[in-house]
Amino acid sequence: MKKQSKIIIVLSIIILIIGFLISNSKSDLKDATFVNLAPSVSIDSIKYNISDIEISNDELGNVIAKVTKKSEIVSYLDSENPYKNVDYIKNVLNEDSSELVAVRINGLYYLAKRVE
């Protein structure tokens, strides 16, 4: 039993180290702010309204920003929050990222169009 415990501890430490390395590898990304009232994100003073149109990974380019701030105006129970995990923003292939981007929400990407 002691051998299994040691293996579990070693594997846990390895997973933590890998997670730390992955999270620090995206440090050169721009900061973005998420607001959940009318779901939107802002990057460099450009505001994008998030639609309910899902987009596949093969239509996306690189990660261009990471959501580092959240303004949660509407309160949800944690289990009912449709915007629980909003994290990365990617550019859409063949589109100008100042007009259209994709926002990852709960593991899926949704189109977000610039607000005039």
Neighbours of 111 (CB within 10 A): 19
The model carries a pTM of 0.69
Q: Enter the tokens of residue 52.
A: 């309910």
Least trusted range by pLDDT, from 73-77, 98-102, 111-115 = 73-77
Q: Under CATH, what is the fold of the domain 29-114?
A: 2.170.150
Domain ranges of the chain: 29-114
Tens of pLDDT, residues 51-88: 999 999 999 999 999 999 888 777 778 788 888 889 99
Strands annotated E in the chain: 30-35, 40-43, 46-55, 60-71, 86-92, 100-105, 108-114
CB 59 within 8 A of CB 95: no
